[in-house]
Amino acid sequence: MPTAVREMARTVHPELAGAALAALLRHGSGPLGPAGRTVRRLLAAGAPVPEGVHRELLGALYGCGREAVSDAGRLLFERPRDPLLRALMTGDDMAALIARARPVELWLHVGHRTRTVLRPGELTVSHRRYLGGDPVSAESVFVCAVHTAAVAAVTGRPVEVALLAADGAVLAPDAPWRPGPAPAVRGWRLRWDDRVGPHGPARPSAAGASATGLPGAARELIAGEPAADWRLSAVAAALGVAPRTLQRSFTRAGTTFQAELAAVRLDVAGHLVRRTRLPLAEIAAAAGFTDHPHLTRRFREHHGCGPAEFRRRGAGGTE
């Protein structure tokens, strides 16, 4: 499928596009350009915003400068209507935020994904392709602004932002906005004061494994790359535990590694079926299923209908 057609088949969450449009209206000079007018019309009609159009909108917002993009991130969380977005702000700490962000990410945008590393007082993020091409700097800076706003809301602390190039090098603060060629933004590092009052450093924030338990941490890991050839041993190694320890954690939770692997892949496929118009064979491959018939069989077992009917139901259609 040609890239332009694929981007029209994928859509972004309307609150993402709405926050970007609101910031553009606030910071832009002169009338809205074609992308802004298109997004405003689509949102007013309750129609989905294709990812390609959203990218054009972010390009216009990016041209307004760093503060405009940062404002879009803040606007997203001012009065979110989607309960998934509201739930992001109810976590007690950063580990809980990271655990909740994984399923929300796919609901917001399916062209790209993020990989996060959480340490006390620091979150490092890489922004990567998923079903689309490599993100452009305007897209990465926007997602960075969203992350910054979320971290500030959860920690209650000012957040220091460093944008990163593909090799992990820190970019000069104004580098992405300088005229002429500049390294593409491929990630960011967020830092905040992790101390608590006069009593010195807080206890280090736990990784996702302690926030959600080992089974939850395993699910989050798999959801990041559902089509990978996951084995129990590989997941255990990534989580820093012995395979037997991970297996026992699944047993105590009343499940198995294979059952959780299948459930995550089915959940990812369900999001893609509902949120995109991509061919079902392509969704099957992206979610880790052998082929389209395999996806259809699992959908019927779990949902009582095939993915095509599941998609029609999501769009309000009937047989």
* Contact partners, residue 18, CB within 8 Å, separation at least 6: 43
pLDDT in tens, 48-88: 899 999 999 999 999 999 999 999 999 998 888 887 788 77
Per-residue confidence (pLDDT) for residue 180, from 0 to 100: 77
- What are 175-182's contacts with CB under 8 Å, separation 24+? 176/66, 176/137, 176/141, 177/65, 177/66, 182/137
Whether 4 contacts 70, CB under 8 Å: no
Dihedral sign of CA atoms 73, 79, 82, 84 in order: positive
* Contact partners, residue 234, CB within 8 Å, separation at least 6: none
In whole angstroms, what is the distance from residue 297 CA to residue 69 CA? Answer: 43
Report the b/e string of 49-60 with b at 16+ CB within 10 A: bbbbbbbbbbeb
pTM of the model: 0.77
Domain residues of the chain, as ranges?
A: 3-76, 91-199, 209-313
Fold for the domain defined by 209-313: Arc Repressor Mutant, subunit A (1.10.10)
Q: Does the pLDDT at position 7 exceed 70?
A: no
Average pLDDT over residues 8-35: 91
Average pLDDT over residues 8-37: 92
pLDDT in tens, 62-71: 999 999 999 9
Mean pLDDT of the chain: 86
* Contact partners, residue 56, CB within 8 Å, separation at least 6: 34, 35
pLDDT in tens, 213-260: 888 888 888 887 888 899 999 999 988 999 999 999 999 999 999 999
pLDDT in tens, 140-159: 999 999 999 999 988 989 99
